Amino acid sequence: MISELSLDVLLPQYSARLSKIFTYYLNNIPSLELKQAMEHTLSNPGKYIRPLLIYATGHIFDASLDDLDLPASAVELVHTYSLIHDDLPCMDNADLRRGKPTCHRTYGEAIAVLTGDALHTLAMQILASHEASLPIDRRLQMIAALTNACGPFGMAAGQALDMTTLGNHHLSSDLLNTVYHLKTGSLISACIELGRLSSNDDDLFNQQALKRFGGCIGLAFQIQDDILDQEGTAQILGKNQGLDMQNKKITYPVLYGMQNAKDKVQSLYQEALDAINYLGSKAQLLRVLTKELLDRKK
């Protein structure tokens, strides 16, 4: 159980739990170069936003930390794999990620691709078989939720649309919202559902309310990323700044203007809070995390 609702206190605790699981699997990888590349990406952690969303949601429904560790580690592996592939020359062609050289700059493109593949499949292995009290039906629901969020009906489709449509200066707002939901929002929404699935909760109202919450913060998160891409610096962001403009992508600030983009983030934040207001104090950690996530500077 979580006794202290302070992210400063909880983040090191969660990070240590994830590192323990990652180390357990990385120690047995037969290819040294693949092992080193996986360690390179996983030992250079970001903000752990997605695992934190899982832990914070699970806290609402009294899920155990041991059970929450499975989806939290799986989502971080999926997210990290997506960043490795996103940075490749055939996509965003980025040199920096989390303040360090990207995986392909350090280990070459072939190993980077294989590292992403390995992280993705390891995520599913952990959900399916890592020791925990989660029953089989919950594990299957988690695998279904995560694969739906990151495959051809989620993140992969969003990334494909990002590459093929966001350079179109006649892009409609509806299509932009669809791209944002698929490439970013779907995985964030899945984190909220995975946190709930780590518990015994089966209440349909909770599921629908959390889906509304996840949809709002997923869209807000991507718009905030657009804002930071224009206003941030590489030193603070830990990655190349201005890649969207360099790649001539149409983003929310480009389509609507910077102030409208900032206003949209705030309105989505309020809508998200309204969706979980009925949960009372049990959702306070989720509220705190959401605010930090949308106020972030990197």
Q: What is the CATH number for 130?
A: 1.10.600.10
In a domain, 2, yes or no: no
In a domain, 189, yes or no: yes
pLDDT of residue 171: 84
In a domain, 47, yes or no: yes
42-76 confidence digits (pLDDT tens): 987 567 899 999 999 999 999 999 999 999 999 99
The answer, yes or no, to whether residue 210 has pLDDT greater than 80, is yes
In a domain, 297, yes or no: no
- Compute how many other C-beta atoms are within 10 angstroms of the C-beta atom of residue 291: 12
Confidence of residue 166 (pLDDT cuts 50, 70, 90): confident
pLDDT of residue 99: 78
Distance from C-alpha of 153 to C-alpha of 146, rounded to nearest angstrom: 11
In a domain, 267, yes or no: yes
From 30, 78, 53, 23, select the one nearest 217 (Cα to Cα).
53
In a domain, 262, yes or no: yes
User: What is the count of structural domains for the chain?
Assistant: 1
230-272 confidence digits (pLDDT tens): 885 555 445 455 565 665 678 899 889 999 999 999 999 999 9
pLDDT of residue 2: 46
In a domain, 1, yes or no: no
Q: Which residue segment(s) compose the domain that 135 sits in? A: 7-290
The predicted model scores a pTM of 0.90
Mean pLDDT of 176-190: 94
In a domain, 296, yes or no: no
